[in-house]
Structure 1
Amino acid sequence: MWLVILGDTGLRRDLPFPVRLQRALMSSYAPPPAPYTPLGVSDRAARVRFRRAVTLVLMTLVLPGSAQLVAGDRRLGRIAMRIWGALLAVVLVSVLLTAAWPGLGLKAGTSPALLGLLRIVLIAVAIGWGVLFVDAWRLGQPLSLLRNHRLSLVGINGALVFVVVGALLFSAHVVNVQRAFWIAVAGDGDVAGTSEGRYNILLAGADQGAGRVGLRPDSLTVASIDARTGKTVLIGLPRNMSHFPFKEGSVMDKQFPDGFDCDGCMLNGVSTWAMDNTHLFKRKKQAGMVATISAVEGITGLEISYWAMVNMKGFRNVVDAFGGVELNVRDRIPVGLPHEASFHYIEPGVRTLDGDDTLWFARARHGSDDYSRMARQKCVMSALLSQVNPAKAVLNLREIMEAGSSMLSTSIPGSEFDTFISLALKAKDQKMASVSLVPPLLSTADPDIDVAHGAVEKAIERSENPPKKKAGGAKKPKPATDAVTGGSKGTLSSGYVANDTDDVAAAC
């Protein structure tokens, strides 16, 4: 028996027999069972601890600082709740003021200083809120939880931190993009007042980078905007006009007192001539645009308030950011050149075009002429103004701002951006009129400037004071034409409808 007890125990043989016997007996001793615990009590306690931990995290989501106030550092909780309350008060007051005076909201949304402050606040709130989430997780005593509860708590807290902090940091990024956009496109000129109650903005389009205004503009249009109602008249100027006068007393008027009558000189060449003779101008970098404005003022009789140069490549990106534009395509429009692999046609019909096709719709001349193209350009302008969706603009704000900063350079100072955004919103729901100084109204080779001035004045007068419908009488319809040339309704001899109308959208 002793051999059985002592032989198989693995005890050391060199120890005295009594010691070996004692150890053998102790090794065979079984400890008494643990005190009896009623089934389910420990599980319920674990669930209570888990619910408490989750509640602290959710309290931080709903009311930052409340978890610390009830289970942690009360001083930290009070500070966090006061900051949160102050932020909510600022947001509420801002919303109420914007609802009462929308101009204040536009002013704030276009102010680089306020946008910069908002960006800093968003980043600070993101960091502070993230710290509170981590502290709420700590207050939940995760090490006291069961393993599956601990993992669930980590997942819940991590998801909330990712969503809340991520959303705030992304918002800060969008605000910074918007701030950078306003800084990039803001002009450095002086604030210009209205001219006879209107803002006259020269819109020039060219294939160029923002700020480089010395190249030949591909298109020239004056948007004459009523400063009170936002009603707009688009005045189209043909790029091939020659023998026109400049504004009296301007640098170009002194160089060409009898009009722009040099060999091969046309309207779209004024900028190039000025950039070759910058010594004549005070602002040498802006010589091309200054000269072009003096030409436009001489031709139209209007005083130009500001100018905006649109880069066509950036324009394409902006259209894509808005999700395209719907246009009535009246004829096949070629996209690209026949030798290019991407060459194709925009087929007739009401179609939603992407940025590249919209650009070619506005610029294609194959099988067309410059004046049909000018009519299509007015259709694009009208469609963009009427179809811009504020909700979509908010969703794609970052893409629009990034594309727009490479699309636009302007002389409009940043302090005036809110004014023109407000006017654009007013113009959105109103008819847009147009007049183009092209055949058959006048000859572009030797234009009658008195006729040009009269046509502009008449178009503006009709926009400000539209003719009233006679009671009980039917409106005399205008002669209709079914002819379509180069994608525009009308012909070169009879004129294109969109170039001279009280409602561009209807003419398109």
Structure 2
Amino acid sequence: MVGAGTGADPLRRAAETVYQYGLAHHDLLADGARPPDRGAELLKRTVGHILGGPGPYYVMVDMRSFRKLVDAVGGVRICVGTPVPAPRRQVPGGVIGPGRRQLGGREALWYGRSRTSGSDYDRMRRQKCLLWALARQSGPVTVLRGFERLTRVFKDSVGSDVPRGLLPPLVGLAGRVRGAQVTSLPFVPPVIAPRRPDFPRIRRLAGHAVREAGSPSPRVPGLHILGRSCT
């Protein structure tokens, strides 16, 4: 969902390259593992190596079905800072106007992926705020109301290597996430230069961010609390 022509684009291309490389090379994984999605497995391990810690599991969502997920929970409330252009055939009027908005699935998808104005970093910020708002607003009652539609979306559009035995604890954790302080650490300028990333610095920052999780005043450069920046 990152567009071309700016500093963030090499990171998007790198992720796509790693994923496709994993799909094309059956014997790439040194431990002989045979995961259901070799591309996702290689990408998961690559991200873990960059951050300096293991990535135990992955979840992949087909973005073409993201709008169905949003519609299944009745839409998402979001604070739109500046107008976001979108195709007229997708969004009435060709723009998502500023202010507090209730977005349906199609609008939410274009709010997160629009490349017409702003920078890649603006789009990354919108995507994080969109996912944060969706997590905050999808309470137990909302999920139960859209359970059947959500089940179909997840069956057709979500892939993961999370073991079934971990699903019950994750359901309980999901309820706690709604009220938790969620922080974000973007590896973007001036903290990190995407075209020539300083991997040791990335690992140090990631480690500091984990240790300061929950702090009301995080001291990690570039770290911010989504509850403050997305409202």
Per the normalisation by structure 1, the TM-score is 0.40
Question: 2:112–2:126: 8 Å Cα contact kept in structure 1?
Answer: yes
Which runs of structure 2 are paired with 1:83-482 in the superposition (5 Å)?
218=1, 240-241=10-11, 266-281=14-29, 282=32, 283=34, 285-336=36-87, 340=89, 344-467=94-217
Looking at structure 2, the residues matched to 383 and 266 of structure 1 have their Cα atoms a distance apart, in angstroms, of 28
Deviation at 1:321?
1.2
1:409 alignment partner, SS class: strand
Match of 1:86 in 2: none
Deviation at 1:272?
1.2
Match of 1:160 in 2: none
Q: Which runs of 5 or more structure 2 residues have no equivalent in the other structure?
A: 3-7
Looking at structure 2, the residues matched to 286 and 408 of structure 1 have their Cα atoms a distance apart, in angstroms, of 12
Match of 1:504 in 2: 226
Deviation at 1:435?
0.3
Which runs of structure 2 are paired with 1:489-500 in the superposition (5 Å)?
500=223
Q: Are the structure 2 counterparts of residues 505 and 423 from structure 1 closer, same or farther at C-alpha, using a change threshold of 3 Å?
A: same
Match of 2:5 in 1: none
Moved over 6 A (4+): none
Q: Are the structure 2 counterparts of residues 285 and 349 from structure 1 closer, same or farther at C-alpha, using a change threshold of 3 Å?
A: same
Looking at structure 1, the residues matched to 170 and 45 of structure 2 have their Cα atoms a distance apart, in angstroms, of 23
- Equivalences, count: 219
Q: Higher relative contact order by CA 8 Å / sep ≥ 6: 1 or 2?
A: 2
The CA RMSD over aligned residues, in Å, is 2.4
Looking at structure 2, the residues matched to 429 and 284 of structure 1 have their Cα atoms a distance apart, in angstroms, of 34
- Give CA-to-partner distance per residue, 1:218-256, whole Å, 9 cap, x none: 47xxxxxxxxxxxxxxxxxx56239xxxxxxxxxxxxxx
Looking at structure 2, the residues matched to 285 and 450 of structure 1 have their Cα atoms a distance apart, in angstroms, of 31
Looking at structure 2, the residues matched to 407 and 458 of structure 1 have their Cα atoms a distance apart, in angstroms, of 34
Question: 2:91–2:107: 8 Å Cα contact kept in structure 1?
Answer: no
Per the normalisation by structure 2, the TM-score is 0.85
2:213 alignment partner, SS class: helix
2:11 alignment partner, SS class: coil
Looking at structure 1, the residues matched to 223 and 215 of structure 2 have their Cα atoms a distance apart, in angstroms, of 17
2:112 alignment partner, SS class: helix
Deviation at 1:313?
2.3
The share of aligned pairs that are identical, in percent, is 25
Deviation at 1:443?
0.9
- Give CA-to-partner distance per residue, 1:334-358, whole Å, 9 cap, x none: 223x6x5756100111000000111
Looking at structure 2, the residues matched to 397 and 275 of structure 1 have their Cα atoms a distance apart, in angstroms, of 32
